[in-house]
Chains A and B, each alone.
Chain A
């Protein structure tokens, strides 16, 4: 039971308290770039969640079972990025073959996200946070993806409204998006300290 609670807390922690976008600025590029429309934002979020879950788990396994026992930590970054690129490729092929409708929905984002910071970020932070079980790694990496989806969807919803708002000329476009993002960050700071 304790283990379950710990996992749940870890999950909530990466979704809300330590949300990668709001506290670590990871994945800011798509967060600002693709958040113009809700449906696209959701598609991007799903694609990222899928790949983070997969590559977070894979890199944790490689790190814990191959690199650390062999003392090859030095090649960690290269291994991570190759695994991520491979995972993205794999997901793309699999989804295109077996779920054509899903591919229509978010397939176009897949090539983009191999350079998404969230994914490499979670691989690195799993190590920094000292994740020491496979289950924990799976839960936390999935949570990170969901946290990203939450962030990008909130942003998209606000930006759809923003399109109708009377924004000062100088701040139109990117600046107002950044300021909105800042205010959202402030709102999410309210979650700070809730889970340790």
Chain B
């Protein structure tokens, strides 16, 4: 009993202030959590809007689509159906990720309404070397993906970057990062496409 008393005597301030601090954090969290959630969604939607002009409505796809990652693990893909203001489908948008040269790369990838063509991608997060691998964010590199077919892409050292085909021309000095983006797209796109066709979300027409 006296031990308990001693314990309380020594630590009442710690206990009391922990309680107050906990309350303070809970209040802040309650006040801000909605906004934080909104921000997260808004960021994805903003990128999608840039890639698919005219996009206004973003509906998460309810169907479960399982992606097998290169390291053998499975995860569920997060896919958004992108609609214009008049409820007409503009395309699809999804988060994809993989490892780059210096760390993980996270991308937002969009396709057209029938999943025939890639409409472009943008980088959500990456830690590639500034000036080299970092150029996967450049328009020069990203433009090559616009209108590329949704079939496995290949990376080439030389070629015509203006051609809308499945061949992506690597960034000089950043082959690994260029390859990483191609690999990420190649991991996710075919799996999402075939599963969406199975589930009847998109037509079965070949490319």
- Are A75 and B22 neighbours in the complex by a CB distance under 8 Å? yes
Partner of A193, one of B21, B25, B71, B176: B176
User: Would you call A192 and B129 a contact (CB within 8 A)?
Assistant: yes
B154 part of interface (Cβ distance < 8 Å): no
Of A2, A74, A75, A196, most B-chain CB atoms within 10 Å: A196
Whether, in the assembled complex, A1 has its beta carbon less than 8 Å from a beta carbon of chain B, the answer is no
**Nearest Cβ in chain A — how far from B136, in angstroms?**
14
Flag whether A78 is at the interface (Cβ < 8 A): yes
Q: Closest CB of chain A to B126's CB: distance in Å? A: 13
B102 — which chain A residues lie within 8 A by C-beta?
192-193
Tell whether A192 pairs with B29 under 8 Å between CB atoms, given A75-B22, A78-B21.
no
Which residues of the partner chain A approach B72 to less than 8 Å between Cβ atoms? 2
Interface residue tally for chain B (C-beta within 8 Å): 14
List the B side residues contacting A196 at CB < 8 Å. Answer: 99-100
User: Which has the most chain A C-beta neighbours within 10 Å: B22, B29, B101, B102?
Assistant: B102
The secondary-structure label for the interface of chain A is helix
Instruction: Give the contacting residue for A75; candidates B25, B99, B100; CB below 8 A.
Output: B25
On whether A74 and B176 interact (CB within 8 A), knowing A192-B101, A192-B129, A193-B102, the answer reads no
Per-residue A-contact encoding for B101-131, CB less than 8 Å = 1, 0 else: 1110000000000000000000000000100
Query: In whole Å, how far is A118's beta carbon from the nearest beta carbon of chain B?
Result: 18
Q: How many A-B residue pairs have CB under 8 A?
A: 18
Question: Chain A contacts of B26 at CB under 8 A?
Answer: 74
By the criterion CB–CB under 8 Å, are B25 and A74 in contact? yes
What is the number of residues of chain A that contact chain B, defined by CB distance less than 8 Å? 9
Q: Which residues of A contact B100 (CB under 8 A)?
A: 196
Closest to B102 in A: A192
> CB-CB < 8 A to A74: which residues of B?
25-26, 29
A193 touches B101 (CB 8 A): yes
Name the interface residues of B52-81: CB closer than 8 Å to any CB of A: 71-72
Instruction: Give the complex CA separation of A18 and B102 in angstroms.
Output: 8
Interface string of A155-196 (1 = CB under 8 A from B): 000000000000000000000000000000000000011001
Tell me, in angstroms, the Cα distance from A192 to B133 when the chains sit together.
12
Min C-beta distance of B174 to chain A, whole Å: 10
Near A by CB (< 8 A), chain B positions 27-47 give 29
Cβ–Cβ < 8 Å partners of A75 in chain B: 22, 25
List the A residue with the shortest CB-CB distance to B98. Answer: A196
Question: Taking CB as reference atom, which chain B residue is nearest A2?
Answer: B72
CA A96 to CA B71, docked complex, whole Å: 44
B36 to chain A, nearest CB (A): 11
The chain A residues found within 8 Å of chain B, CB to CB, are: 2, 6, 18, 74-75, 78, 192-193, 196
Cβ contacts A to B, 9 pairs, < 8 Å: A6-B71, A18-B103, A74-B26, A74-B29, A75-B22, A192-B102, A193-B101, A193-B102, A193-B176
Residues in chain B within 8 A of chain A (CB atoms): 21-22, 25-26, 29, 71-72, 99-103, 129, 176
